[in-house]
Structure 1
Amino acid sequence: MRIGLLGTGPWARRVHAPVLAAHPGVELTGIWGRRAPAAAELAQAHGTRAYATPDELFAACDAVSFAVPPSVQAPLAVRAAQTGRHLLLDKPVATTVSEARAVAGAAERAGVASVVFFTARFGEREGAWIADQAAAGGWFTAHADWLASVFAEDSDSPYAASPWRREKGALWDVGPHVLSVLLPVLGDAESVTAARGPADTVLLTLRHRGGAASSATLSLTAPRAAFGVEVTLRGTTGTTTLPRREAGPEPAFHRAVDALIAAARTGRPHPCDLGFGVRVTEILAQAERALGGADDQ
């Protein structure tokens, strides 16, 4: 599959470009970025070429991989779908419901495959655990702590310079990860409440379709000594905890690429397609309204 990459930031440099360049089932056709020199440098590093415009890149590929902020991703994904390109999107698909639904509508009309990359869902150990717990059922409650130190005072994160993360905070950056774990196990969210904690921290509470309740603490400003990820389920079979990731995000992204290739080849939607991505945006938008934020439908 000929895949073009949109984006030149830390996530594109660390994950997207090297994985796409090394994947045996992929030809990394080229790279476009909002900063032309950065696109040229990244393309040279991975033996491909930089494109002057997104549309020129679309014309040279079968699918597009997105490593750009969600407000940039959504309109470009609509354009890519309209040209018949399959979509490998990052989370969240968009930070407004209308934009997310526009991407999904464009993909449906064009008949293209889509996969939204959630690192936990595509992690080998985490993905197997999620599938096992969904099959087991009988869950009463769950709690997640998804705490990052991107904006902590002593942070050395490469994402600390990310304007969209600073604007939208933990709800939109790590909230999608939490939902990607909880929803397949406990079912869709029937009700959502949210409250603010320190700095950008959000306390999220969900009631799920099957009757279970879950809560989550989300933050990008946790002290470095306190950062980490824990998800615990409690139910009729006892207590179980999401296994820790043993490797970086690169192997998970490789599996997401595999999933897009399979969906494009077979025509069978992947569980993490745009339908799921839109639902995640809808739930986060509902939480944002509960916090007194934007009210986009």
Structure 2
Amino acid sequence: MTTAGGFVLRFGLFGTGHWAAETHAAAIDAHPRATLAGVWGRNPERAGALAARHGVPVFPDVDALIDACDAIAVALPPDVQADIAFRAATAGRHLLLDKPLALSLADADRVVAAAQQSGVASVVFFTQRFHPNITGFLAATAAAGGWQHARGTQFASIFQPGNPYGGSRWRHEKGALWDIGPHALSLVLPVLGRVTRVAAMDGPSGLVHLLLTHDGGATSTLSLTLDAPPAAVTRDFVFFGENGVEVVPPGDGSALTAYGTAIDQLLEEIDSGTRDHRCDVRFGREVAAVLTAAEVARAQHRTVDV
């Protein structure tokens, strides 16, 4: 099917939770060049309900939905996502994935290799990187140069009653390092460059503190938790350098509008034939490498090279 703007991308949606329903499915349904081809989920009842809500079929089999779509959208635990992404890329389907790309570097490498071999387009949805004002800020800050250090603090409180993410098993097991660590890194890496060394230390309430060395010698510190006291919830990212101090602004849109932008950019990659998106699976793999090193640094109480 085509529209005045071009062909319509048929998405297979993998996942049935709050994020899948209220962000992924809603944004795909609202996009003029995207449509839902069907839904697959680990809970057949919820998959059926979400599929019925959008008037599309529910698929009991992963590969059957991959066969029925042009691209996949995934809102599942990262280890489950990595396997589905590998199968979809191998089948020539484009990838709109969530962060983190995977929970192991080996799984991330498998996805990257499959995407590169098949030539599919890929975008990993680091939410803040799809707000136009943040994209502009990071580009201008990186171009200014001269940055010596960044400090990031992101305290969430998802385990309170009624929070839609509080029951997530993988978030309980992997904590802030793997859940909001990717968001933090997605803001720091474009300005300071690739991480070369990592040190880490735990604190109370699920806190993890990272000290990072970047290419060229700049450093950054990140403090992250999913279990902060509700009154202490905050997000604060600051760069320090020769030109003074720059504070990363809050995003100027919702997660829903940001996901619509991610769909736009995936379509641009497909339309143009380019495969150089700033948040593609290669960037997802770079983030996973830092998180993997940080996990080792925490466990072994030492500095780890990335």
TM-score by length of 1: 0.96
Verify: 1:207 aligned to 2:204, yes or no. no
Task: Specify which of 282, 287, 302 is matched with residue 275 of structure 1.
Answer: 282
Task: Specify which of 17, 20, 28 is matched with residue 25 of structure 2.
Answer: 17
Q: CA separation in 1, counterparts of 2:161 and 2:43?
A: 25
Paired amino acid for 2:72: V
Paired amino acid for 1:75: D
Q: Which residue of 2 aligns with 1:85?
A: 93
Q: CA separation in 1, counterparts of 2:213 and 2:273?
A: 33
Q: Which residue of 1 aligns with 2:121?
A: 113
Q: Which residue of 2 aligns with 1:292?
A: 299
Q: Shift of the alpha carbon at 1:199?
A: 3.0
Q: CA separation in 2, counterparts of 1:95 and 1:209?
A: 24
Q: CA separation in 1, counterparts of 2:92 and 2:189?
A: 30
Q: Which residue of 1 aligns with 2:3?
A: none
Asked if the contact 1:73–1:93 (Cα under 8 Å) also holds between the matched residues in 2, the reply is yes
* CA deviation map 1:142-200 (0-9, x unaligned): 1000110013xx45311000000000000000000011000000110111111001132
Could you tell me the percent identity over the aligned residues? 45
Q: Which residue of 2 aligns with 1:170?
A: 176
Query: For 1:291, what is the secondary structure of its paired residue?
Result: helix
Asked if the contact 2:131–2:252 (Cα under 8 Å) also holds between the matched residues in 1, the reply is no
Q: Which residue of 2 aligns with 1:226?
A: 232
Q: Shift of the alpha carbon at 1:267?
A: 2.3
Q: CA separation in 1, counterparts of 2:67 and 2:121?
A: 17
Comparing 161-170 with 107-116, greater Cα deviation is found at 107-116
Q: CA separation in 1, counterparts of 2:51 and 2:261?
A: 22
Q: CA separation in 1, counterparts of 2:55 and 2:28?
A: 11
Asked if the contact 1:155–1:224 (Cα under 8 Å) also holds between the matched residues in 2, the reply is no
Q: Shift of the alpha carbon at 1:16?
A: 0.2
Task: Specify which of 137, 143, 148 is matched with residue 140 of structure 1.
Answer: 148
Q: CA separation in 1, counterparts of 2:82 and 2:205?
A: 27
Comparing 266-275 with 180-189, greater Cα deviation is found at 266-275
Comparing 158-167 with 35-44, greater Cα deviation is found at 35-44
Verify: 1:129 aligned to 2:172, yes or no. no
Root mean square deviation of aligned Cα: 1.4
* CA deviation map 1:103-124 (0-9, x unaligned): 1111111111111000111112
Query: For 1:68, what is the secondary structure of its paired residue?
Result: coil
Q: CA separation in 1, counterparts of 2:116 and 2:200?
A: 32
Q: CA separation in 2, counterparts of 1:229 and 1:138?
A: 24
Task: Specify which of 253, 256, 262 is matched with residue 262 of structure 2.
Answer: 256
* CA deviation map 1:237-275 (0-9, x unaligned): 111111112332111111111111111222222010111
Number of equivalenced pairs: 293
The ranges of structure 1 where at least 4 consecutive aligned residues each deviate by more than 2 angstroms after the TM superposition are 245-248
Q: Which residue of 1 aligns with 2:241?
A: 235
* CA deviation map 1:191-233 (0-9, x unaligned): 1111001132100111110221110101001111111211001
Q: Shift of the alpha carbon at 1:38?
A: 0.8
Where do 5+ consecutive residues of structure 2 fail to align? 1-8
Q: CA separation in 2, counterparts of 1:48 and 1:228?
A: 39
Paired amino acid for 2:91: T
Q: CA separation in 1, counterparts of 2:41 and 2:129?
A: 27
Query: For 2:124, what is the secondary structure of its paired residue?
Result: strand
